[in-house]
A and B are shown apart, each in its own frame.
Chain A
Amino acid sequence: MNRIDRCFKELKTTGKKALIPYITGGDPRPGLTVELMHCLVESGADIIEIGVPFSDPMADGPVIQLACERALAHNTSLRDVLNMVKAFRKTDSKTAVALMGYLNPIEVMGYQVFADLAKVSGVDAVLVVDMPPEESTDLSGALKALDIQTIFLMAPTTPDKRADLICQHGEGYLYYVSVKGVTGSAALDVEDVKANLDRIRSKTDLPLAVGFGIKDGATAAAVAKIADAVIVGSALVNCVARNVNDDALIKKELSQIMLQMREAMDAAV
């Protein structure tokens, strides 16, 4: 069984919700990413999303744009990020890892080459921000053949008909984008998110993860009550941005936020 499916199955028996942190691979430097991944696991991560840096991150706000720029200053490539996952897997064979990024680096590498390397590296899922289900057939097919899942996004603007299509294609979990906007944007409206999640839940049994606008224990707890998973990105990347030259401080601040969220989430459900 895929690590993501197993993760949600286990959480169901304990009644807890998944905490999914995002960091950009290679930020602030490639040598630190694997350590940060382990640090995230130690402080409560169930699944890790690793961002593949891209020169033109169209769907991201300034925080993750700058993370991409820091990673690209070290020429962090898709291949490098896959190697980071491979290195992480040497000592962690349990925690699920999803790659998150834009299509072009994968397109240039070639879908089959990418799928093979992702498999060898121990990647469990791939989320391509600018690849809606309509354009996903070839890549999802190559990944599926190797038991790697494709994660799709759902948005407040997604009408029912599209929601059906996305549910048909969905694997692993559905990533519900809580606000209209880019990553790191304004606070989410819990009532509005709940109404949308209810609508989606009537269509699918897939776990529903909510991202965008979750910055602290309180927002994480509020979302944990209504969703199956809480995704946090910009708030963590900010810890890196604040301390680019101090590895110890990055880890300390990451752990603090993660533990705070973990605790608040577990208390809320």
Chain B
Amino acid sequence: MSIDLKAVTQLPTKSGHFGPYGGRFVSETLMSALDDLSELYERLSQDPEFQAEYDHDLAHYVGRPSPLYFAERLTKHVGGAKIYLKREDLNHTGAHKVNNTIGQALLAKHTGKPKVIAETGAGQHGVATATVAARLGLQCTVFMGATDIERQKLNVYRMRLLGAEVVAVNSGTATLKDAMNEAMRHWVTNVDDTFYIIGTAAGPHPYPKLVRDFQAIIGREAKRQCMEQEGRLPDALIACIGGGSNAIGLFYPFIEDESVAMYGVEAGGHGLDGDDHAAPLCKGKPGVLHGNRTYLMEDENGQIMPTHSVSAGLDYPGVGPEHSYLKDIGRVNYVAATDEEALDAFHKLTEIEGIIPALESSHAVAFGMKQAAKMDKDKIVVINLSGRGDKDIHTVAAIDGIEI
């Protein structure tokens, strides 16, 4: 590879660009708040005290490090490379999302703003935000598409128990992208006293950078754990991609390790041949949405297209800008798993390993099994198990025709 990978890890530029992607495409009212946030983050990310506070919370509140678990029976079942699972599902609140909300809530605390807002798809980010808000005594409002509220009832109730207000968004397709629109609208109106905790590595600069930095703990741990357990780096990393925060968290610390192949797995929905999927990196084109330039699912007139995935957390027409860049330079391979493949992987992992994965993570498991089967037995694959599947039990039961 002729590209300078060290330079790649130093992105984004000061203006928030990853090559042509990223940037800051928002209305003027928000520009000053984003400037302030960039400045605050630049300062605090160099501050040992802030880092120590973040590390302390990850250890004692989230329960990190999360294990890198050798899935021995799954490995035998697949009959190829050794499969390891990075167990983000064991974090407090049940997914990787909390790594980021802990960090952003600490930033919010430093700004002195008493209110936080978040958008959520599957509800994992909403729960993770409501959780840290409860802990820090911040007032929390979560925007969620009406369609997602219906398919993720359990998480909606969790958020309400945690004291958050959940606002149903009925505009557009009533899913994650519309929740993000509405969160932006709310933020523009309440920017003086409200901190917006974005849940994925997308949005206007500095969000893609700071979310990546907070999630990169996943990859740093996985690297260390793989060295401890196997004495070498893994051969392949696999993670699912909606906006791409768990994937960039796992990938980022490995970008310079050229021997490590990386696979981002998008939601293939009913298949990439039709329009019913959520795979902008596999099938989309670059465009501008939600504050950044990135690959999007859009029509020939630049209108954002409705997406489909069995998993609410992947049902999003965009993706973090760093992924768009990593695609273009060829450092990461972006692939897709269909609804059916993900559901199959959901059942397999549950039955063979006793681990119920989130439907989002099931996409990574599905591709991971396929990839491992093609690799030699002495190779090592790390799959990011980004979340647990309790929230999806009703969805899966309904698909299987079972009434709970």
Contacts and interface: CB of A to CB of B under 8 A. Distances in A.
Interface of A: 54-62, 65, 72, 75, 77-79, 102-109, 129-132, 134-135, 152-159, 162, 166, 177, 180-182, 185
B29 A109 contact: no
Contact of A72 (B15, B28, B191, B303): B303
A102 B287 CA distance: 11
A105 B302 CA distance: 4
- A-side binding surface: helix, strand, loop or mixed? loop
Contact of A59 (B188, B286, B288, B296): B188
Contact of A132 (B31, B172, B188, B289): B31
A129 B189 CA distance: 16
Given A104-B288, A181-B189, A155 B303 contact: no
A162 B29 CA distance: 11
Given A55-B304, A153-B28, 8 more contacts: A60-B185, A65-B171, A105-B301, A108-B287, A153-B29, A155-B32, A162-B35, A182-B188
Contacts of A58: 26-27, 181, 184-185, 290
B283 to A, nearest CB: 15
Contact of A108 (B29, B33, B192, B298): B298
Interface residues of B, number: 40
Given A56-B181, A78-B301, A79-B301, A135 B31 contact: no
B19 interface: no
Best-surrounded residue of B181, B192, B290 (most CB of chain A within 10 A): B181
Best-surrounded residue of A54, A135, A166 (most CB of chain B within 10 A): A135
A61 B296 CA distance: 23
A55 B317 CA distance: 12
Contact of A56 (B33, B285, B304): B304
Contacts of A155: 27-29, 31-32
A78 B192 CA distance: 35
A132 B304 CA distance: 21
A55 B175 CA distance: 13
A262 B246 CA distance: 55
Given A59-B185, A181-B188, A105 B291 contact: no
Contacts of A56: 172, 177-178, 181, 289-290, 304
B24 interface: yes
Contacts of A55: 172, 303-304
A158 B298 contact: no
B54 interface: no
B121 to A, nearest CB: 15
Nearest to A62: B171
B357 interface: no
A135 B34 CA distance: 14
Contact of B303 (A54, A129, A154, A156): A54
A152 B30 CA distance: 14
Contact of B302 (A60, A108, A153, A156): A108
Interface in B1-40: 15, 23-33, 35
A181 B287 CA distance: 25
Nearest to B17: A135
Interface in B68-115: none
B177 A130 contact: no
A157 B172 contact: no
Interface string B274-296: 00000000000111111101001
B300 interface: yes
Contacts of B28: 132, 152-155, 157-158, 166, 177
A217 B95 CA distance: 54
B302 A104 contact: yes
Contacts of B15: 134
B190 to A, nearest CB: 8
B301 A107 contact: no
B26 A130 contact: yes
7 contacts: A56-B290, A77-B301, A102-B288, A105-B303, A134-B15, A162-B35, A177-B29
Nearest to A65: B171
Contacts of A134: 15, 23-24
Contacts of A156: 29
A167 B181 CA distance: 28
A182 B15 CA distance: 25
Contacts of A62: 171
Contacts of B191: 157, 180
A212 B374 CA distance: 59
Contact of A104 (B27, B188, B287): B287
A180 B185 CA distance: 10
Contacts of B172: 55-56
B96 to A, nearest CB: 26
B100 to A, nearest CB: 22
A163 to B, nearest CB: 10
Contacts of A154: 28
A171 B286 CA distance: 28
Best-surrounded residue of B29, B171, B192, B290 (most CB of chain A within 10 A): B29
A176 to B, nearest CB: 10
Contacts of A162: 31-32, 35
A108 B25 contact: no
Contacts of A158: 28, 31-32
Best-surrounded residue of A62, A79, A131, A162 (most CB of chain B within 10 A): A131
Interface in B159-201: 171-172, 177-178, 181, 184-185, 188-192
Contacts of B26: 58, 130, 132
Contacts of B192: 180
